[in-house]
């Protein structure tokens, strides 16, 4: 090897090796800091692209979960109100059956009718109060059945059907003008009341069935999101135990490389000894 003060080949080689070690250390430290082996497209374009697509689906599933949570809340409010309506109808039936007693006085019938009217008003209040986030399934205010997101592409939907329990409807055939002031009136009201109770119970049961479907689908979406998160982790997460061991090894290599460069830089000093005494 030629001794030269212009070109120090060993120093150049040592510097290249030290720079390579520094680059590897920087990459290792980035993986440790981010917790990911692939954090940018530069690391691995194909895997990064796949991971980004899965992350997009996960974000969309977040919106789906929010929509389903809203559906659950609306259904729960409707169920609570529907069950209250059913309970009120039972109490009303008690008053109507009592009013069919032909031995009752006018005063007694008026008292029963007053109770009946109070329950009727309470029923209307319950139906109008069954609102969550502006949505009411029971009072006929919604223009159509409510649909909610079911998948990340918004291609599928899950439905909550409207169940109009308002007075004078197809489900609740009672009216605000009904009274039980006479046994004859009570008999007529009882016929419609029995039909109404059957229809209301069926309607509330329908809401319950759909609410159960929504809960099941919401649980599935949560599990799907967890699976996608795990899948993305399998693609891009770094093994921090390996990275820790690699970092320690690179730190040693860096120190050795620095020493090797120092020795190589000192080699031209030998040339001075060749010219001593000249």
pLDDT values of the chain reduced to their tens digit, one per residue, 278 residues: 666 667 778 878 888 888 888 888 888 887 888 788 888 888 889 988 998 899 898 999 999 999 999 999 999 999 999 999 999 999 999 999 999 999 999 999 999 999 999 999 999 999 999 999 999 999 999 999 999 999 988 899 999 999 999 999 999 999 999 999 999 999 999 999 999 999 999 999 999 999 999 999 999 999 999 999 999 988 888 888 888 888 888 888 888 888 887 887 777 777 777 776 55
DSSP structure string for 254-269? HHHHHHHHHHHHHTTH
**pLDDT at residue 3, as a whole number:** 65
**pLDDT at residue 13, as a whole number:** 85
Whether residues 128 and 245 share a domain: the answer is no
**pLDDT at residue 14, as a whole number:** 82
d(CA 219, CA 199): 30
**pLDDT at residue 84, as a whole number:** 96
Total structural domains in the chain? Answer: 2
Whether residues 259 and 197 share a domain: the answer is no
Helical pair 106-129 and 45-99, crossing angle rounded to 10 deg? 170
CA 51, distance to chain mean position in Å, is: 20
**Does 79 reside within a domain?**
yes
d(CA 202, CA 164): 12
DSSP structure string for 77-133? HHHHHHHHHHHHHHHHHHHHHHHT-TT--HHHHHHHHHHHHHHHHHHHHHHHH--BT
Helical pair 45-99 and 183-236, crossing angle rounded to 10 deg? 170
Say which CATH number the domain at 81 has: 1.20.1330.10
Compute φ and ψ for 220, nearest 5 degrees.
-65, -45
Whether residues 72 and 140 share a domain: the answer is yes
**pLDDT at residue 2, as a whole number:** 64
Task: Give the H or E element holding residue 157.
Answer: strand 157-160
CA 176, distance to chain mean position in Å, is: 42
Whether residues 104 and 210 share a domain: the answer is yes
Tokens of 182: 């006479």
CB 101, CB 183: distance < 8 Å: yes
Domain that holds residue 171: 60-236
Three-state DSSP at 155 gives coil
Global pTM? Answer: 0.78
d(CA 18, CA 31): 20
**pLDDT at residue 95, as a whole number:** 95
Whether residues 196 and 255 share a domain: the answer is no
Whether residues 216 and 229 share a domain: the answer is yes
């Amino acid at each position: 090897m030629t001794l030269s003060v212009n070109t120090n080949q060993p120093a150049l080689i040592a510097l290249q090796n030290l720079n390579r070690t520094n680059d590897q250390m920087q990459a290792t430290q980035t993986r440790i800091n981010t917790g990911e082996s692939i954090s940018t497209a530069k690391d691995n374009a194909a895997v990064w692209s796949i991971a980004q697509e899965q992350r997009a689906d996960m974000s969309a599933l977040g919106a789906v979960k929010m929509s389903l949570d809203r559906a659950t809340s609306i259904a729960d409010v409707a169920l609570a109100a529907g069950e209250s309506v059913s309970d009120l109808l039972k109490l009303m039936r008690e008053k109507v059956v009592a009013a069919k007693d032909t031995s009752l006085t006018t005063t007694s019938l008026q008292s029963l009718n007053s109770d009946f009217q109070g329950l009727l008003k309470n029923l209307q209040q319950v139906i109008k109060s069954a609102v969550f986030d502006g949505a009411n399934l029971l009072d006929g205010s919604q223009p159509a059945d409510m649909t909610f997101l079911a998948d990340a592409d918004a291609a599928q939907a899950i439905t909550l059907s409207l169940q109009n329990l308002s007075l004078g409807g197809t489900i609740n055939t009672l009216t605000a003008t009904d009274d039980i002031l006479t046994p004859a009136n009570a008999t007529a009201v009882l016929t419609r009341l029995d039909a109404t109770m059957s229809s209301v119970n069926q309607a509330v049961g329908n809401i319950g069935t759909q609410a159960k479907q929504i809960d099941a689908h919401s649980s599935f979406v949560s599990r799907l999101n967890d699976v996608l998160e795990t899948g993305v982790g399998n693609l891009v997460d770094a093994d921090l135990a390996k990275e820790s061991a690699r970092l320690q090894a690179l730190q040693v290599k860096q120190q050795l490389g620095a020493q090797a460069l120092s020795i190589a830089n000192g080699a031209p000093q030998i040339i001075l000894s060749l010219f001593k005494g000249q």
